[in-house]
Amino acid sequence: MRVVLGALLALVAFSANAEDWPNRPVTMIVPYAAGGPVDTVGRIMAQGLSEVLGQQVIIENVGGAGGMTGANRVAKATPDGYTFLLGGSATMTTVPALNGKKTPYNPLTDFEHVVQFADSARVLITRKDFPASTLKEFAAYAKANSGKIQYSSSGTGAGAHICALLLDQAMGTKITHVPYRGSGPAMQDLIAGRVDYMCEQISTAVQQVKAGTVKAIATMGLGRSSVLPDVRTAAEEGYDINCASLSAFEFPKGVPEEIVKKLAEATNKVVENPAVRARFESLGVEVEPAERRSRAYYLKALPPEVERQAQVMKASGLTVE
């Protein structure tokens, strides 16, 4: 009886906490170092959420292992609603696919998936004198010169690398990969002409494209970018490639549904704010359409994407298992 009574009291207390959530500051775990594109998105959202929720949302950068360290921190956190993850494509699909059973968390069962809200697509950029201007021309040149050209990325298994692998599969090629320690040096060598191309996030490539130091061939998201409106998508060129880097929020498994709904509603309010949208657009980050900003959509879309990334890794032979 004492055990049952204790459990009932705990349940009542948990329900009460859900009703007045949040009544103290909330921590957003950003699984990368401060100053990068993901951190920038997190800080924009933290400011907006603090205003909507009426409690401060504090950023804590927990980098390491391609985002796994921060994601695992949230997966193992107390499910009281006061710790959540700025996750998305890397932590929920790419990194688990790369590390397989060595991933310390299960992306599908260890989290309460809240909502996906933004999309930072990638763009195929080349050295400025590359002899192609469209994706079809690029593919033809790559096939004819697959043993001579090479691409850079911010590291093995990074989003830029995975996107290039998807491009390889679509073109039927196997181009040499040159991994770097970060997108900065990878971009520098592309500008210098020491490598031929890379698949970089639009948010970090747009300034170089506009400056003419690199050439934009095609964007690799669901639609054209507002900051590169004249650059055609891969789909428009006849290639089924989607390298969108989605941003989403995740709670630890077991957080009450009422709290999950509150964060989802607050997130949608923030991204509907014109000032927030303007800041995102200046970075090349697109707010997801309303129909894709629901928990139901995210729960339906995530499992097949996890499987798709696993197949990409398997086909490339990259998995660490």
pLDDT digit string, tens, across residues 279-295: 998 888 889 999 999 99
What's the pLDDT at 215? Answer: 98
CA 87 to chain centre: 7
Residues 114 and 130 in one domain: no
Residues 189 and 264 in one domain: no
Q: Mean of the pLDDT values across residues 152-171? A: 86
E-strand spans in 111-162? 111-120, 122-127, 150-153
For 11-63, write each residue's pLDDT tens digit.
444 444 788 999 999 999 999 888 777 889 999 999 999 999 999 999 999 98
For 71-103, write each residue's pLDDT tens digit.
999 999 999 999 999 998 889 998 898 888 899
What's the pLDDT at 251? Answer: 98
Q: Mean of the pLDDT values across residues 181-197? A: 92
Helix (H) or strand (E) holding 140: helix 135-144
Q: Which of 209, 237, 265 is the last residue of a domain?
A: 237
CB 149 within 8 A of CB 226: no
What's the pLDDT at 241? Answer: 86
Task: Say which residues have a Cβ less than 8 Å from residue 18's Cβ, sequence separation at least 6.
Answer: 81, 256, 258, 259
> Could you give the percent of the chain with pLDDT greater than 70?
93
The SS3 call for residue 87 is strand
Residues 72 and 172 in one domain: no
Whether the pLDDT of residue 4 is over 60: the answer is: no
Residues 82 and 167 in one domain: no
What CATH number is given to the structural domain containing 254? 3.40.190.150
With respect to residue 306, please indicate whether it lies within any of the assigned structural domains. yes
Whether the pLDDT of residue 230 is over 80: the answer is: yes
CA–CA distance, 25 with 232 (Å, rounded to integer)? 43
Whether the pLDDT of residue 7 is over 80: the answer is: no
Short-list 45, 16, 67, CA closest to 268: 45
Residues 31 and 94 in one domain: yes
What's the pLDDT at 151? Answer: 97
CA–CA distance, 167 with 132 (Å, rounded to integer)? 15
- What angle in degrees, to the nearest 10, is found between the helix axes of 202-211 and 183-191? 20
What's the pLDDT at 320? Answer: 55
With respect to residue 208, please indicate whether it lies within any of the assigned structural domains. yes
Q: What phi and psi values does residue 220 have, to the nearest 5 degrees? A: -125, 55
Whether the pLDDT of residue 317 is over 90: the answer is: no
What's the pLDDT at 9? Answer: 42
Amino acid in position 227: V
Task: Say which residues have a Cβ less than 8 Å from residue 307's Cβ, sequence separation at least 6.
Answer: none
With respect to residue 271, please indicate whether it lies within any of the assigned structural domains. yes
With respect to residue 1, please indicate whether it lies within any of the assigned structural domains. no
The pair of structure tokens assigned to 222 is 């669901």
What CATH number is given to the structural domain containing 219? 3.40.190.10
Whether the pLDDT of residue 8 is over 70: the answer is: no
Q: Domain span at residue 127?
A: 122-237
Residues 139 and 87 in one domain: no
Residues 109 and 56 in one domain: yes
What's the pLDDT at 13? Answer: 45
CB 179 within 8 A of CB 226: no
CA–CA distance, 96 with 250 (Å, rounded to integer)? 15
Q: What phi and psi values does residue 93 have, to the nearest 5 degrees? A: -130, -55
319 confidence band (pLDDT: 50, 70, 90): low
Residues 33 and 105 in one domain: yes
Q: Mean of the pLDDT values across residues 290-319? A: 86
What's the pLDDT at 184? Answer: 84
Q: How far is CA 319 from CA 93, 196, 270, 275, in A?
A: 13, 25, 37, 41
Q: Which of 185, 207, 237 is the last residue of a domain?
A: 237
180 confidence band (pLDDT: 50, 70, 90): confident
With respect to residue 8, please indicate whether it lies within any of the assigned structural domains. no
Burial label for 13, CB within 10 Å (0-12, 13-18, 19+), is: exposed
What's the pLDDT at 119? Answer: 85
Helices (H) and strands (E) in the chain, counts: 12, 11
Q: How far is CA 304 from CA 40, 48, 239, 319, in A?
A: 28, 31, 19, 18
CB 321 within 8 A of CB 102: yes
Number of structural domains (the chain) is 2
CA–CA distance, 127 with 197 (Å, rounded to integer)? 6
What's the pLDDT at 268? Answer: 98
With respect to residue 17, please indicate whether it lies within any of the assigned structural domains. no
Q: Which of 213, 237, 261 is the last residue of a domain?
A: 237
Helix (H) or strand (E) holding 274: helix 274-282
With respect to residue 226, please indicate whether it lies within any of the assigned structural domains. yes
Mean pLDDT, all residues of the chain = 89
What's the pLDDT at 278? Answer: 93
With respect to residue 308, please indicate whether it lies within any of the assigned structural domains. yes
